[in-house]
Chains A and B, each alone.
Chain A
Amino acid sequence: MSSGTIIFLILVVGVTVMGFLASGWGKANLQQFDEWALGGRRFGTLVSWFLLGGDLYTAYTFIAVPALVYGAGALGFFAVPYATIAYPVVFVVLARFWTVAKKRGYITSADFVRDRYGDRALEVAIAITGVIAALPYIALQLIGMKTVFSQIGGAFGAGGGFVALGVAFVVLAAYTYTSGLRAPAMIAFVKDALIYITVIAAIVVVPAALGGWGHVFSSVQTALAARPAAPGAAPAGILLSPGMYFAYATMAFGSCLSLFIYPHSITSLLAAKSKFVIQRNAALLPAYSLLLGFLALLGFCAIAAGIATKDPNAIVPLLFAKYFPDWFAGVANAAIVIGALVPAAIMAIGAANLLASNVFEEFSAQRPPGETRVAKLLTLAVCACALIFVVELPVQYAITLQLLGGAWMLQIFPAFALGLYTRWFHPSALLLGWAAGMLTGSGMAYSTFLTSTPHKFGSVFPLQLGSLKLIGFIALYALIANLAVAVLATLAFGAAKASKGTDGTTAQDYAV
């Protein structure tokens, strides 16, 4: 066994033990829904920082963002403004959500929607959207782990990495079942420490080995200019082509609106002990975004280093293999696997909460007995679904569904985020808007599939407005359709004097 494999094993086994020990953290009654699913809403600034960082900046993010820059050039850098402007949204909107959630005892976003609008159909629509968006996300984390297992080889590589993945899955499901959110919260410390160590090492060592950033960028410019452009697509470069300005801005803006309405973000945010903890973290979490920014530039380093691969997702592991000793590659591999376990656990908990609280049951301020047990069992089911997903379907399906999931997720924005500020919308109008947004988003994505060669789902759509062609983010176009329908239908319901349903919240619930 190589030194890298030994270090990898020690780290992974270590965090597994931590995951099980986490059930004893704070001596809580884990039969209570709050305690199991949200760690009792008691996490302070430091724990929340690690938990949110470990949750939002997943192993997949750290692999996919450099891959995007490697393939698309400057356009791929949109992740950086996205990860910047998401924080003012957290500071203002999600802090408000935390306040009302604490007062009314919400575990999920759909709990709030049910309470606010008194509409069962809307509650189920919001919950199902979250679950569908979470599943491919979990699958991608598992795929990230599998990639590492098969690269390490030996016993880990058996059956293309699936055997090791099966073991990792059982462990993940077991400690999530017993410890709830406390498990990923505890492991997140190790995960983030490893990620910081490896990424900082990479952004110091790799550009220096390549002769500095100036040299990296000039060789990338030459390499990208020589690269044959895909038919119909703008050529990749180190700067944006003017035709892609709108795409860049809408991708950053649309993504920043949807990031914090994913079930795993909501779960981590609600676990904070106060609104102040969330706002303080909004100011501190950009540290991860800075890391992400430099990591994105590793995509350029890979081009400058002459790394040529058919699978852009392999460039980060390939850079590590090329520039670091074997034992350090072991640390990096452990960072990826543990970095996948943390968000996968939180996503499974978030999805299970939605199913338990809003699909199988209906939200009520008095939590029905046995709900925790149902949620715990559902976590196992969600993990199993994700595993089946990975084993049965090609990787491209998970990537495509995650892309579509982003467009779908944003469609709960009017009911959820706008609902925190106004009760003007009619619940049925919001449901119609949601349906319109889902259809628009899926339709536009499907049309990018039909018009591309080879067929592939894209995230941007060329909208023809008279003589003007606007290439923009599909999720945001879908949100505009959603809002237009919701506004018009609300006006129509108002004209028909239809009842708006009951609102369980009062203005007092949103106040500090």
Chain B
Amino acid sequence: MKRRAWYWLLIAPFVATLWPPFYNHADPALFGMPFFYWYQLLWVVLTSLLLGFVLLMTRERTDV
């Protein structure tokens, strides 16, 4: 059950994406795309990686 502590990591995407003042800028742009857009697209990828990591840390040996 202690492994469930890893679940707390999953708060990160909420904090990162639900506070717009933090990312509502045009700069720095990437490939001409304002920060606002590529930052949020980046978090799609980061969340996916984070979920994969948490799964790795919490999965049971019996999981299929």
Q: Which residues of A are interface residues toward B (Cβ below 8 A)? A: 74, 77, 80-81, 83-85, 87-88, 91-92, 212-217, 238-240, 242, 245, 248-249, 252-253, 273-276, 279-280, 282-284, 286-287, 289-290, 293-294, 297, 512
Contacts and interface: CB of A to CB of B under 8 A. Distances in A.
B20 A84 contact: no
Nearest to B33: A213
Interface string B15-37: 00111110011100101111011
Nearest to A511: B1
Contacts of A274: 63-64
A252 B64 contact: no
B30 to A, nearest CB: 9
B40 A84 contact: yes
Contacts of B25: 239
A286 B40 contact: no
Contacts of A88: 10, 13-14, 47, 51
Going nearest first, the 6 A-B pairs with the smallest beta carbon separation are A214-B32, A283-B51, A213-B32, A81-B17, A276-B63, A88-B10
B44 A242 contact: no
Given A83-B44, A88-B14, A248-B20, A217 B34 contact: yes
Contacts of B59: 276, 279
Contacts of B41: 80, 290, 293-294
A238 B64 CA distance: 45
Given A81-B40, A217-B34, A286-B47, A252 B18 contact: yes
Contacts of B7: 92
B33 A217 contact: yes
B10 A91 contact: yes
A512 B31 CA distance: 45
Nearest to B15: A85
B43 to A, nearest CB: 6
Contact of A245 (B17, B21, B47, B52): B21
B13 A84 contact: yes
A212 B31 contact: yes
Nearest to A277: B64
Residue with the greatest number of chain B CB neighbours at <10 A, chosen from A74, A83, A214, A283: A283
Given A81-B17, A252-B17, A87 B32 contact: no
A444 to B, nearest CB: 21
Nearest to B43: A84
B44 A80 contact: yes
Contacts of B40: 77, 80-81, 84, 293
